[in-house]
């Protein structure tokens, strides 16, 4: 495998699988399968090892993604992508851009599996459309159209959801954490956009609202109530998907990860991942 420089290209393999699946565990499974297939393949004609490995990952993830659609329709309550730690203290390097943020992964979740594959392979990893077509089983022209449609929807989402600076995120999250822990509903309401949306993923394994909650006052009261009932060790700022988020621990274990969308100094969307199956890798 030395000729493929696996350690150098592994972050791209994992990054492609994670963007397609929104699951750390499933992405790691894909990485292992790519390794095994690459070891047993004839690599004499491989000119671009990174593109070749990423394409194998996409083909495997594409099959998983099509079956995952059915599973997610049966999922108990809202589904959110698994949080991916990305800060400077993370041992395994991953390729990070805004396409691994919770907000963008949720946008890509609305794409068809084929659109998602075309966008991730071509727009994120620069894989030629001829190779994308090989994964999707169509023509290069069809793959180009799929990527174009996906690109338009992602661009619309980016325009509608301007990205807050790291300094603004840190300021808002620090104030938000203090207000929630202090039971300051009025302060939370001021930090939340009036039309903010709260979505929680408990997966039927943790107590969580089965439907989105809208409105600053309702969200603030919910968060204060949960904080008052919870016996937690600490709530810390961590980097998830390239953006600062809040991580809650109890008895040394991660029990919640909250990713927030922020615009003009206020929280517009609050995503809480409480499903223990999605937090085990943390």
- At 163 the pLDDT is 83
Euclidean distance between CA atoms 104 and 173, whole angstroms: 19
Residue 237's pLDDT is 96
Quote the pLDDT of residue 116.
96
**Would you state the pLDDT for residue 45?**
83
Half-sphere CA count of 63, side-chain side, radius 13 A: 9
Which CA distances in Å does 141 have to 51, 136, 138, 147?
19, 12, 8, 10
- Cβ count within 10 A of residue 181: 16
Distance in angstroms (rounded) separating the CA atoms of residues 249 and 245:
13
CATH 3.10.450.50 residue ranges for the chain? 166-278
Class of domain 166-278: alpha beta
- φ/ψ (deg, to 5) at 51: -65, -40
As beta bridge partners, residue 201 has 273
Q: Which residue stretches of the chain have pLDDT < 70?
A: 1-4, 70, 89-93
**Order of all β-strands in the sheet with 192-201:** 213-214, 192-201, 266-273, 253-263, 243-250, 234-240
Q: What is the pLDDT of residue 92?
A: 61
Compute CA distances 116 → 1, 159, 257, whole Å.
29, 19, 25
CATH top class, domain 6-160: mainly alpha
Query: CATH 1.20.140 occupies which residues in the chain?
Result: 6-160
């Amino acid at each position: 495998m030395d000729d493929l420089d696996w350690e150098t290209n592994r972050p791209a393999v994992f990054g492609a699988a994670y963007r397609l699946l929104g699951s750390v565990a499933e992405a790691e499974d894909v990485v292992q399968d790519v390794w095994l297939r690459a070891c047993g393949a004839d690599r004499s004609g491989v000119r671009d090892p990174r593109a070749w490995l990423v394409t194998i990952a996409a083909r495997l993830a594409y099959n998983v993604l099509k079956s995952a659609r059915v599973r997610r329709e049966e999922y108990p309550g809202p589904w959110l992508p698994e949080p991916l730690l990305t800060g400077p203290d993370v041992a395994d390097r991953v390729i990070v851009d805004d396409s691994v943020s919770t907000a963008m992964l949720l946008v890509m979740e609305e794409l068809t599996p084929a659109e998602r594959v075309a966008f991730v392979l071509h727009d994120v990893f620069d894989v030629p459309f001829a190779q994308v077509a090989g994964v999707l089983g169509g023509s290069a022209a069809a793959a180009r159209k799929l990527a174009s449609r996906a690109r338009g929807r992602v661009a619309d989402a980016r325009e509608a959801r301007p990205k807050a600076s790291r300094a603004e995120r840190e300021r808002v999250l620090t104030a938000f954490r203090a207000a929630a822990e202090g039971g300051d509903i009025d302060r939370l309401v001021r930090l939340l956009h009036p039309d903010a949306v709260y979505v929680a993923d408990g997966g039927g394994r943790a107590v969580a609202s089965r439907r989105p909650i809208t409105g600053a006052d309702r969200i603030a009261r919910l968060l204060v109530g949960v904080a008052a009932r919870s016996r937690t060790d600490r709530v810390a700022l961590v980097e998830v998907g390239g953006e600062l988020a809040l991580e809650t621990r109890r008895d040394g274990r991660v029990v919640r990860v909250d990713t927030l969308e922020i615009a003009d100094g206020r929280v517009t969307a609050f995503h809480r991942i409480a499903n223990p199956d999605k937090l085990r890798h943390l």
